[in-house]
Structure 1
Amino acid sequence: MKKTGILNAELSRAIAQMGHGDCLVVADAGLPLPAHLPVIDLAVVAGLPRFADVLAAILTELEVERCLMATEASPALQDLAPCPPACVPHTDFKRATQSARVLVRTGETTPYANIALYSGVTF
């Protein structure tokens, strides 16, 4: 049994399989889920788990080179980003999710609580 880090097997596996430049999206409960995209659905009820908590856990294990958020996201949400996010209109953000490797759905109900994380390298 794993003692530390992300305990969700699907999420842990997805992070371990990320390569340089691959995209992982952490999404609120309302972001459209592209049919062709693998989704790790962590949502239990409205508000659980929270976007901030899931993002914080992912950031302990994923090397992030850059990130993308919607311009409509509040400054408080943008402050959670691991690096200054490139911001695009929400419609463009949704389009960008189409090329993600995986989408992680949270129970977050705060509007525009979504971020695309692009994997960096550790060497």
Structure 2
Amino acid sequence: MNTLKKLGILNSDIAKVLTDLGHTDKIAIGDAGLPIPTGVKRIDLAIALSDPSFIKVLKAVLNDMKVEEVVLAEEIKEQNASQLEAIEAELVEEERITYVSHEEFKQQLKDVKAVIRTGEATPYSNIILQSGVLF
């Protein structure tokens, strides 16, 4: 019997990735231009430029995922301070933020389980989320 999920993320690809995460596994959410390494699962939500927005997708994922650490590009601080402020508003106190260069960020994408591509069209609107545990 097939039932319609009532709460949480309805996108089956995202729901499956989140369900399969173990402690310290990572996923990423990226803007429309983020290069996704060969071999890394791509979940493409982009419909049009700016749709869906990065922050909308981040909010939905954070509501469904226990996160212990996030990785952001250092460049977001100066190149997209308003997006950084929006990200910080969504995080809870125990979720540590690590900043790396954008080049290092792109290297770390090789180790994520999946990249969720949004339609976001602002610079450095990318995040890596490291899974925590509920207990």
Shorter-chain TM-score tier: over 0.9
After superposition, the CA RMSD in angstroms is 1.0
- Alignment map for 1:1-123 (pairs within 5 Å): 1-73=4-76, 74-79=80-85, 80-81=87-88, 82=91, 83-123=95-135
Distance 2:84 2:103 in 1: 17
Give the % identical residues.
38
Q: Distance in 2 between matches of 1:75 and 1:84?
A: 18
Give 1 or 2 for the bigger CA radius of gyration. Answer: 2
Specify which structure has the higher proportion of helix. 2
In structure 1, C-alpha distance between the alignment counterparts of 2:48 and 2:96, rounded to whole Å = 30
Q: Helix, strand or coil: the match of 2:111?
A: coil
What displacement does 1:76 show? 2.6
User: Deviation per CA, 1:63-103, whole angstroms, max 9, x where unpaired?
Assistant: 00101000111333233142342111100100011110111
Q: Is the 8 A contact 1:50 1:108 kept in 2?
A: yes
* TM-score for both structures, normalised by structure 2: 0.87
Structure 1: tracts of 5 or more residues without a match: none
> Normalised by the size of structure 1, how large is the TM-score?
0.96
